[in-house]
Structure 1
């Protein structure tokens, strides 16, 4: 089995690789039939990359966060989760500093997003008819 890809890479092509995204940086890379894994660690940088037939997986803390949000959605906080996804679609405004952030009002179904956080940019894929 090949070792997972991780670290800093520029202008490289990856085929059928396991790519550990946590803390990694990829610029101008192409990924084909790769498994992309994010486990909730340091936010990766993906700039100008292309993804063809890649699978995306979430492990560790990232998987825990998704499970938590899913449970909240099923547990009556669907408005808050939908609001959170709406903010993500708009550019993900989140609080970086817990000490200065106002508390969210979960009972009202709102989440507070304060500071812009740009995770990564991926160019839009062309759709084949």
Structure 2
């Protein structure tokens, strides 16, 4: 694989690249045999892109979240996890307002959890 790709790109083709998704913006790009890597940072924007034979990998905080959800599922919280995925399939979007006055600083755990979540859509390939 060549050097990892990360940043803001439009109308480019990538072949056999490691693509660091955190904070990146890709518009109308084509990815072929790329490793798409998300590590739990700023949510990427993927608009009008095509993916062919790519792998999707999760590292860092994203891997920790998946491990946590898996542990919850195996630990008896399967209904909670299933309902969460049901809402994801429905296209649920978390809409949040400013943190309550009781949240003292931006560095608190609650403040980090109250950041707005942007949902993006990747069009399904045509048959």
TM-score, scaled to structure 2:
0.81
Give a deviation string over 1:63-84, Cα, whole Å, max 9, x none: 0000000000000000000000
SS at match of 1:93: coil
Give a deviation string over 1:30-76, Cα, whole Å, max 9, x none: 00000000000000000000000000000000000000000000000
Does the 8 A contact of 1:92 with 1:117 survive in 2?
no
Pairwise CA distance, 1:99: 3.9
- C-alpha root-mean-square deviation of aligned residues, in Å? 1.8
Q: Is residue 2:76 matched to residue 1:69?
A: no
Q: Structure 1: state its 5+ residue gaps.
A: 101-115
SS at match of 1:79: helix
Does the 8 A contact of 1:91 with 1:118 survive in 2?
no
Question: What is the aligned partner in structure 2 of residue 11 from structure 1?
Answer: 11
- Report the Cα distance in structure 2 between the residues aligned to 1:16 and 1:23, rounded to whole angstroms: 20
Q: Structure 2: state its 5+ residue gaps.
A: 101-115
Does the 8 A contact of 2:43 with 2:118 survive in 1?
no
- Report the Cα distance in structure 2 between the residues aligned to 1:97 and 1:70, rounded to whole angstroms: 29
Deviating more after overlay: 6-15 vs 86-95: 86-95
Question: What is the aligned partner in structure 2 of residue 81 from structure 1?
Answer: 81
SS at match of 1:56: strand
SS at match of 1:31: strand
Count of residue pairs brought into register by the alignment: 112
SS at match of 2:51: strand
